[in-house]
Amino acid sequence: MIKVKIKSSITEGGNVFAGKTDSIPLEFIQPTLDRYYEELDRLFPQHSDKFRTFRPLGSVGKKAKSGDIDLAVNVRDMFPDGEVNPEDVESWNLSSDEWLKKVEKLTKRARTSTPSELGWKAFLQLLAEYMNENSDLIEADLKKIKPGAMFSLFPQFSPEGEQQDVGVQIDWMVGNLDWLTFSYFSDVPSEDEPLLKGLHRTQLIHALILAMNHSFSHTAGVKDKETGQIVAFSKDEILDLLSRLYRNTITLDDTKNFNTLYAWMRNIDEEDRNKALRAYLKILDTTRGNKDPSGERCGYIPKVLEQMYLSLLKSGQMTGRFLCREANPTLWAAKNTSLQESPNNSEKITVVIPGGFKPPHRGHVEMINHFANLPNVDEVIIFTGSKPRKSSDGSVVVTAEKARKLFNLFNLASNVRFGDVRQREKMDGSTYENPFMDAVAVLFDDNYKGKAVAIGHPTKDPTYAKRFEKIASYSKKPMAARLVKVTPADTTAGLSATDLRNAVQSGDAEQLTRFIPDSIAKEYLNILIGN
């Protein structure tokens, strides 16, 4: 028997046991589930009948291979009234006192969860802990448990009953059985678009709900955002709700897959349709629910919506950060060519450069002037915080005031200025600074609406540009400016402010000449250390 431990961090959704599982062949699914239920029977013999009520969800059993196995767990099969109570907890070989302690702890941190949801989450946490302590086969994830979901890792078994050396993720989806079979339904993937999966159908339903000021949960149903009340928790209830919200009758067959839903949407009000589709594309823009033919996880945009997505991408309303390179080649190319270097055109660019610069030296100034002197650069903005930097023994202290004075000794280009670095509040009420985020904020500043903005960085550190683009793309707010690229600076190599501070500390004159031109050395050191 194998015992697979979770050692890596868990990612939200999809395969939470990355690197420890593989797709499970169709013929392995039932033998694996049979063995899984046997292990649960051994752990909880008083409830062996309940495990046979679990039902596979989504595309399980409909494809040659499945990425994981989602199981519908009916709350009323687990507990008679659908609610967790101390007496019933004891029957699961669990401590009711520990359950109550967990409920109390979760209640203190809860914002929107109901007492019922907190009770279920506490129960699933205890159940997962018990499984991990008492089973050599099941490994439950303790961090990602929700009121309606628990994730576990289990070895795959062949039809002959042979245990394989790879696992499969088996997830418990806990809730109303009628609702679960609807919210997790997945049709056979489209032959024309293999990446058009059940995910796209369900996310489109989510968007239709969201566009009408409601929220959608796979396990908890549909909630009216204004009243906070659950308004749909079954197939019939959500069909009735959608019919009323969009003034067009929808049937269960209409919700079968993306294509049937999209066909139904042709008969609803155009403004309502476009609002829902924009919400849908926003959801897909933040989701990596597919695998490109190359194997890379990505977000697939249905072909029929590519032009709409492209328009939203160009206007800055979409990020395109998860686009499928091979499955959406047109969109991927549009996203990436929009960031091509264009040093010879007439468009004026603002270059932002965040950094410590304590103290500034020859390499810093070479880099800054490189960008300032590019023919299409209008201005360069430097962002540096007020936090002092010290030499290794603390004898050389470089403040923001000193750094600014030292910068003035160099021949900085006339189109270079220093940007404002704001104070950001921490949870404890104290403040901190983040010059990098202030540089990113320029992209969202209405003063730069329609203008081009780029991050300035040396050739030796291309990760700066990648990080800048990545952080910017995570914002839900649309960019005011356009993100472009400029030629990186190929400057004097091997110079760091840390080495300069330590050279000043040790009085290493030979080292200092590498960082500071002779013409300003005396005045530079006078400002820095006072002699």
Q: Tell me, yes or no, whether 516 lies in a domain.
A: yes
For residue 346, what are its two tokens? 């007439």
Q: Tell me, yes or no, whether 154 lies in a domain.
A: yes
What is the count of structural domains for the chain? 3
Q: Which residues sit opposite 53 in a β-bridge?
A: none
Instruction: Report the alpha-carbon distance of residue 442 to residue 447 in Å, rounded.
Output: 8
DSSP-derived secondary structure for 352-418:
EEE---SS--HHHHHHHHHHHTSTTEEEEEEE--S--EE-TTS--EE-HHHHHHHHTTS---TTEEE
Question: CATH number, domain at 496?
Answer: 3.40.50.620
Instruction: Report the alpha-carbon distance of residue 121 to residue 427 in Å, rounded.
Output: 26
Q: How far is CA 208 from CA 47, 197, 228, 245, 402, in A?
A: 39, 17, 18, 9, 56
CB 473 within 8 A of CB 321: yes
3-class secondary structure, 150? strand
**For the chain, what's the residue count?**
531
Pairing of strands 69-74, 55-56: antiparallel
3-class secondary structure, 343? coil
Q: Tell me, yes or no, whether 377 lies in a domain.
A: yes
Indicate if 353 and 269 belong to the same structural domain: no
Instruction: Report the alpha-carbon distance of residue 403 to residue 86 in Å, rounded.
Output: 63
DSSP state of 232: E
Indicate if 209 and 358 belong to the same structural domain: no
Indicate if 204 and 288 belong to the same structural domain: yes
Q: Tell me, yes or no, whether 7 lies in a domain.
A: no
Please give the pLDDT value at position 493.
54
Indicate if 502 and 356 belong to the same structural domain: yes
- 254-273 CB burial, b ≥16 within 10 A, e <16: bbbbbbbbbebbeebeeebb
Q: Tell me, yes or no, whether 300 lies in a domain.
A: yes
Indicate if 275 and 392 belong to the same structural domain: no
Please give the pLDDT value at position 528.
81
Q: How far is CA 448 from CA 274, 349, 375, 451, 477, in A?
A: 28, 10, 19, 5, 15
Residues 6+ apart with CB under 8 A from 430: none
Element (H, E) at 510: helix 509-515
- Residue holding tokens 């929009």? 338
Indicate if 242 and 122 belong to the same structural domain: no
Indicate if 288 and 167 belong to the same structural domain: no
Instruction: Report the alpha-carbon distance of residue 255 to residue 242 in Å, rounded.
Output: 11
Instruction: Report the alpha-carbon distance of residue 175 to residue 221 in Å, rounded.
Output: 9
Instruction: Report the alpha-carbon distance of residue 218 to residue 239 in Å, rounded.
Output: 15
Which domain range does residue 408 map to? 349-529
Indicate if 296 and 402 belong to the same structural domain: no
Indicate if 283 and 215 belong to the same structural domain: yes
Please give the pLDDT value at position 337.
55
DSSP state of 446: G
Indicate if 332 and 353 belong to the same structural domain: no
Q: Tell me, yes or no, whether 422 lies in a domain.
A: yes
Indicate if 28 and 79 belong to the same structural domain: yes
DSSP-derived secondary structure for 137-180:
S-EE-SSS-BTTEEEEEEEEE-TT-PEEEEEEEEEEEEE-HHHH
Q: Tell me, yes or no, whether 254 lies in a domain.
A: yes
Instruction: Report the alpha-carbon distance of residue 401 to residue 386 in Å, rounded.
Output: 8
The last residue of one of the domains, among 337, 358, 384, is 337
Q: What's the pTM?
A: 0.56
Question: CATH number, domain at 150?
Answer: 3.30.460.10
Q: Tell me, yes or no, whether 43 lies in a domain.
A: yes
For residue 25, what are its two tokens? 């062949």
CB 157 within 8 A of CB 163: yes
Instruction: Report the alpha-carbon distance of residue 210 to residue 280 in Å, rounded.
Output: 9
| Burial bucket for residue 462 (CB in 10 Å: 0-12, 13-18, 19+) | exposed
For residue 34, what are its two tokens? 């049979």
Cis peptide before 359 (omega within 30 of 0): yes
Indicate if 475 and 374 belong to the same structural domain: yes
Give the residue ranges of the chain where pLDDT is below 50: 1-18, 338-344
Amino acid at 355: G
DSSP state of 303: G
